[in-house]
Chain A
Amino acid sequence: MPTLLALDASSTACSVALWHQPAGREAEVVARYVEAPREHTRRLMPMIDEVLAEAGVALADLDALAYGHGPGSFTGLRIAAGTAQGLAYGLDKPLLGVSTLAALALAAHRRLHLRHVLPALDARMGEIYVGAYRCQDGDITPLGAEAVMPPERLTLPPGQEEVDWVGVGSGWTLWPSMNANLQAGVSQHLDDWQPAAEELVRLAAQRYAAGERTAPAQAQPVYLRDQVAWQKRR
């Protein structure tokens, strides 16, 4: 069983989680999560130290690191990316970037046993970041690519209109803007959930076990919004 550390600063929350297997016991996750808008630069390092201390694990024991690579707050993504890259590069260990939307989907599946989840985050400027996941027995499978779009344009994944979907994440605060067809297919939406390192580290552990290794410099943020904000001035 590998030992992994994940961190996330993609939203107003700041979170850190460690996946490890204490001798003679089941693998476990030690996690910290705080609502800390604009305090990630202050909170992140002490939270990492706390998690390591509680688990009795040293940084040198880590096999890999992971971080929430987005979508989310651009600055937050870079704080997490920089910290994780610095740690991974310093330790000479691989770094896995994990989707924050996937983390939301896994959280909904683990906590509420949901099977069909539409994680969405408020992207500001009248848009949302959104994905669609089918979840079963602790595994989540994306249906199509994650995207940024106006909430009005959101539709259910093709061929999946009959199943019962649940929305998770801040993107669902834009519910009034969503179209009636979509609303009819979504039985409930949990607007106040935020991505957490606890789920990121579980997803990273699965990918690590499957053999994935990425060099720290390659683990870049995934912003999804790549053009809109800056039209060429001349």
Chain B
Amino acid sequence: MRVLGIETSCDETGVALFDSQRGLLADALYSQVAMHADFGGVVPELASRDHTRRLLPLIDEVLGEAGLGRRDLDGIAYTAGPGLVGALMVGAATAHGMARALGIPVLGVHHMEGHLLAPMLEDEAPDFPFVALLVSGGHTQLVEVLGLGRYRLLGESVDDAAGEAFDKAAKMLGLDYPGGPHIARLAERGDPKRLRFPRPMTDRPGLDFSFSGLKTHTLTAIRQLEATGALDDQARADVARAFEEAVVDTLVIKCRRALDASGQTRLVVAGGVSANRRLRERLEHECAKRGARAYYPRGRFCTDNGAMIAYAGAQRLLAGERDAASMLAVPRWPLDHLTPPAA
């Protein structure tokens, strides 16, 4: 079954073609990051407008890359949520229109299910069951994945997502959006001993996260350095380092607890923040220590992309699941409301 996947839930337009026999045939992405950078965050109306401009050319590109025509498609999957409702509607409407024209099934899939299953696109794919840490600009979640559509939320952020915390800390340090990579680069030069930031919610049991206190702590530290005239380049790097250490340490502690609590030996790490080198090193170390194994989607499938939607959609379409006539755009949609494929 050849499935076209469409992702338009936030600020990237992603399109890909997945073949259930031959694997991923093609994928293309247009990132709006540069467009939103001037605003310090995603402007929903601009994001939606851009999806409308980019989507068909990307579909054309992907079909061309695979050497296929639109009539060769057997199904279409699109991100139905969660995400920006106006942006979601662009993908939903286009997918439904195209599927109706081609007389093929169409299905709205859960964006986070896409992220959870993204490592399945790799040669070394994990088997079920596993624990997944999803860390992006919009999410920080630990999920136990027992099978397709069988997800148990173990813990999540009660306030800011980890990526969002990176972005906000970066802004305080006068760095560009998105801030994660900038903080990471600056932190390389930072002294890990000079400052120590709190590891929120690690002093008590549980798998939830909180990053807003860390944000406040970071701001206070910057203000204090400023007040004493000590906020030079080195101090900035030291703040970045202390911040990164605190976030990474917190994530690692919670992953360890999640593996302990679930008894799983496979850990999938996905989402934009999983690109963070220090986080990967620490998780590798942690897994090695306990005989567990960590899996990551390739870099470009860690962030939003069409391939993960094509893959997740194909699994469900193959099982006979499909949308009725309504186009779906569900801005808030808890992951553990998902069920195994319903034909």
A2: Cβ under 8 A from any B Cβ: no
CB-defined interface of A210-234 with B at 8 Å, one 1/0 digit per residue? 0000001100110100000110111
Which residues of B are found within 8 Å of A220, using beta-carbon distances? 52-53
Q: In the complex the two chains form, what is the Cα distance from A139 to B130 in whole Å?
A: 65
Q: How large is the interface on B (under 10, 10 to 19, 20 to 34, 35 or more residues)?
A: 35 or more
Residues of B within 8 A of A90 (CB): 70, 97-102
Which residues of A88-111 are within 8 A (CB) of B? Answer: 88-92
Is chain B's interface secondary structure helix, strand, loop, or mixed overall? helix
Interface check A124, CB cutoff 8 A? no
Contacts of A84 in B (CB 8 A): 97
Name the interface size band of chain A: 35 or more
Specify the main secondary structure of chain A where it touches its partner: helix
For B60, list chain A residues within 8 Å (CB): 217
Which residue of the partner chain, among B45, B57, B101, B328, contacts A86 with CB atoms under 8 Å? Answer: B101
Contact A230 B93, beta carbon cutoff 8 Å: no
Assess whether A89 is in contact with B100, with CB atoms less than 8 Å apart: no
Give the residues from 34 to 52 in chain A that come closer than 8 angstroms, CB to CB, to chain B: 41-42, 44-46, 48-49
Contact of B100 among A87, A221, A233 (CB under 8 A): A87
> A78-B93, A82-B90 are known contacts. Are A230 and B46 too (CB-CB below 8 A)?
yes
With A41-B326, A234-B40 known as contacts, the answer to whether A82 contacts B89 (CB < 8 A) is yes
Chain B residue nearest to A92 in the complex (CB): B70
Query: Restricting to B27-55, which residues have a CB under 8 Å from any CB of A?
Result: 38-41, 43, 45-46, 48-49, 51-53, 55
**Chain A, Cβ-Cβ closest to B69:** A92
Chain A hits for B329, CB < 8 A: 41
Does residue A187 face the partner (Cβ distance < 8 Å to B)?
A: no
Q: How far is the CA of A82 from the CA of B328 in the complex (A)?
A: 13
Taking CB atoms, residues of chain B closer than 8 Å to A80 are: 93
Docked-complex contact A82 and B326, CB < 8 angstroms: no
> Do A46 and B56 have beta carbons less than 8 Å apart?
no
Q: Which residues, 61 to 91 on A, are CB-close (under 8 Å) to B?
A: 74-75, 78-91
